[in-house]
Amino acid sequence: MGIKLKLEGVNVFFGNNRAVKDVNIDFHANMVTAIIGPSGCGKSTVLRSINRMHDMVPSARVTGKILLDQTDIYEKNADPVSIRRRIGMVFQKPNPFPAMSIYDNVIAGYKLNGRANRQESDEIVEGSLKRVALWDEVKDRLKKSAMELSGGQQQRLCIARTIAVRPEVILMDEPCSALDPIATAKIEELINELKEQYTVAIVTHNMQQAARVSDYTAFLYLGELIEFDRTGKIFTNPEKKHTEDYITGRFG
């Protein structure tokens, strides 16, 4: 399997504060890569640099290279909008558009590409909702507000909205942290299925989750990448003492 996405010497600054220091991570195609580490260590910041989310923060600056299929997404003439269509993102708190129906939420991103005809839209909505196992729960109320759904359903709706755009990479920033255990189990199952089609990067502060869903794991501490390896290796036989301490819960 090839490497879909490659972080080379990535630094992220907020003003003069260097929040991410010289991080190198390879994201393998059709695999799930987890980013773990204590709160505030820069997990979200790394993830958000991958789809140029920091463009929205005036004080933020990213240096280094992020190669998507060998092309640097921070290149001078790279277009952030088309990059974000190739690299989708799911956020910590479910954030459906409250003024839109379930149907319109799913198709919202896809419609940005241009006008979609009715039949095409219907197919995409149905396909995306089936993909996230939400179709049976909502097929009779597609025109209802997305706010009527439970938190777990909303998060699956947000994932459906993301895959409706047909991205190549999906970034997830603690997608289960606002959910109950049953909803969490459903999302984890979904992540497992998603990797057949997509390259997935997931931030989590839950180590059991990282162990369950990921193929590779990156451990970050204070903005630095401490260790990156196969998940099995990280959790059973890490190279660094620091990683082992964190995995075994000796700090964090």
Partner 1 sequence: MEKESSTGRKAVSAEQSVSQTRSMKKILSGDSIFKGITICFALSILFILLLMVYEMGRESFPSIRQFGLKFITSSTWDAVAEDFGALPFIYGSVISSLLALLLATPLSVGTAIFVTEISQKRIGGIISALVELLAAIPSVIYGLWGVLVMAPWLQRSVQPFLIDHFGYLPFFQGAPYGVSMMAAVIILMIMIVPIITSISKEVLMAIPQSQREAAVALGATRWEMIRMAVLPYGRSGILGAVILGLGRAIGETMAVTMVIGNTPQISLSLLSPAYTMPSVIANEFAETTTRMHSAALMEIGLILLAVTLLVNVLARLLVWSVTRGTAGGGRIQ
Ligand X SMILES: Nc1ncnc2c1ncn2[C@@H]1O[C@H](COP(=O)(O)OP(=O)(O)O)[C@@H](O)[C@H]1O
Residues at the site binding partner 1, with contacts judged by CB under 8 A: 51, 53, 56, 58, 81-82, 84-85, 88-89, 91, 93, 95-100, 108-109, 112-113, 158, 161-162, 165
**Which segment (36-44, 102-110, 153-161, 224-232) binds ligand X by CB under 6 A?**
36-44
Between 42 and 152, whose beta carbon lies closer to ligand X?
42
Query: In the bound complex, what is the minimum distance in angstroms from residue 178's beta carbon to partner 1?
Result: 11
Query: In the bound complex, what is the minimum distance in angstroms from residue 250's beta carbon to ligand X?
Result: 19
If contact means CB under 5 to 8 A according to the sort of partner, which of Mg ion, partner 1, ligand X, none does residue 100 touch?
A: partner 1
Q: How far is CA 130 from CA 28, 94, 123, 204, in A?
A: 26, 18, 10, 25
| Per-residue DSSP letter, 164 | H
**41 is a contact residue toward ligand X (CB under 6 A):** yes
**13 is a contact residue toward ligand X (CB under 6 A):** no
Q: What is the total count of residues that contact ligand X (CB under 6 A)?
A: 11
CB 176 within 8 A of CB 7: no
66: number of Cβ within 10 Å = 25
**49 is a contact residue toward ligand X (CB under 6 A):** no
**Residues 6+ away with beta carbon under 8 Å from 59:** 14, 15
DSSP states along 70-130: TEETTSTT--HHHHHHHEEEE-SS----TTSBHHHHHHHHHHTTS---HHHHHHHHHHHHH
Between 33 and 45, whose beta carbon lies closer to ligand X?
45
Query: In the bound complex, what is the minimum distance in angstroms from residue 39's beta carbon to ligand X?
Result: 4
How many Å apart are CA 86 and CA 78, to the nearest integer? 13
Q: Which residues bind to Mg ion, rule: CB under 5 A?
A: 44
